[in-house]
Structure 1
Amino acid sequence: MNHVRVETKPAFRLIGFKTALEGGTSIHAPQYSVQKTTFFKSKLENGQLPGIRPLAEGPYGYAAVAVEDGVARYYAGVVSAKPLPEHTDELRFPGGEYAVLSGQGGLSRLAFDRLEDQAFGSLFTEAYEYEYSGGPIAEVLLNGNPADAEVEVWVPVRKRQ
């Protein structure tokens, strides 16, 4: 099992690009993986992600999954409080407690998938004191190297009743 901790994070805002994910309406589904990779790569290759990089408040790369109006959506972008550029979208993360799952090694997409599978497959059980609270999930590339990634997944949680 990879490292897991719960920590309080301040509210933050991701700006970037979004797409609808097909094949599910939940926040996490295995069929999203290829769709996420394809979308993220397309935004890199067409220059859109590098174009908003100067707006980033830090060195990390971000993606996110959120369910909006019953549709799972995937975002690729940067964390920034700067004005929203034309043709971009924003996703606001509330401040609060997050389960932070961390891992390293291998391709970033595979690392993110492993951590999300861990969270929704074995972590959030009745025995765990926290449960998923329903907000967006952040995928954070810490080392800037998607081929040998150091990553975190931030899942919003609340104490189980």
Structure 2
Amino acid sequence: MADYIIEDKDSFTVLGIGIELKSNYTDFAGINKEKADFWQTIGQDGTLDTLKSIATNDYIFAVNEAVNNKMMHYAGVMTEASIPEATRVIQFPKGEYLVVKGEEKTSEELSNKLTGIAFGQVLPEAKNFAYVGGPNTTVEMGQRNGLVFGEMWIPIVRK
């Protein structure tokens, strides 16, 4: 089984700028392309830099959340501030989280790897906990030795 830990986290809030994902939830290639296009756009038009400029730490959050039966994807940061471009304040609950750690060459590769491990290996094999919805996020925490490192955080409940 993949390497993971269960960790208690306090509730936290992420300010996000997002898009609705139009691909079917089982169309991983389509979803990944939509996410990659979104990140490329906000990286080029300055939106990501604007978010980073109001962040309280260096973490960049890639958040997935179902809102009103729509699959949403956000770029976000922890902050007390707000900006006009922000589309959602995302509340993460206090409780236990599945945490999968990793590192890759790019942010996109890291996100895809951690998502694949969490949803493709850990959660399907888990016997004593489950993901029952709510926002989940890949957290890009920094770079070391030429690689991007971070974690995936998924709120869970005990079975």
- TM bin (shorter chain): 0.7 to 0.9
Partner of 2:157 in structure 1?
158
Relative distance call for 1:22 and 1:132 in structure 2 (3 A) is same
Q: How high is the TM-score relative to the length of structure 2?
A: 0.88
Partner of 2:42 in structure 1?
43
Relative distance call for 1:96 and 1:30 in structure 2 (3 A) is farther
Question: Equivalent residue of 1:31, what SS?
Answer: helix
Question: Equivalent residue of 1:149, what SS?
Answer: strand
State yes or no: 1:135 paired with 2:141. Answer: no
Partner of 1:86 in structure 2?
84
**Shift of residue 31, structure 1, vs aligned partner:** 2.7
Q: Which portions of structure 1, spanning 4 or more consecutive aligned residues, are displaced by more than 3 angstroms?
A: none
**Shift of residue 93, structure 1, vs aligned partner:** 1.2
Question: Equivalent residue of 1:104, what SS?
Answer: strand
TM-align CA RMSD: 2.1
Q: How does 1:54-93 map to 2 (within 5 A)?
A: 54-82=53-81, 84-89=82-87, 90-93=89-92
Unaligned runs of 5+ in 2: none
Unaligned runs of 5+ in 1: none
**Shift of residue 123, structure 1, vs aligned partner:** 1.1
In 2, are the aligned partners of 1:2 and 1:115 still within 8 Å (CA)? no
In 1, are the aligned partners of 2:65 and 2:72 still within 8 Å (CA)? yes
**Shift of residue 105, structure 1, vs aligned partner:** 2.3
In structure 1, what residue type is equivalent to 2:127?
Answer: Y
Partner of 2:106 in structure 1?
107
Question: Equivalent residue of 1:63, what SS?
Answer: strand
Question: Equivalent residue of 1:23, what SS?
Answer: coil
C-alpha offsets along residues 13-67 of structure 1, whole Å, 9 cap, x if unaligned?
Answer: 11131100121247x9443111111101211211111112222111111110001
In 1, are the aligned partners of 2:17 and 2:74 still within 8 Å (CA)? yes
Greater shift in the superposed pair: 7-16 or 64-73: 7-16
Partner of 1:9 in structure 2?
9
In 1, are the aligned partners of 2:52 and 2:58 still within 8 Å (CA)? no
Q: How high is the TM-score relative to the length of structure 1?
A: 0.87
In structure 1, what residue type is equivalent to 2:120?
Answer: G
Distance 1:127 1:65 in 2: 21
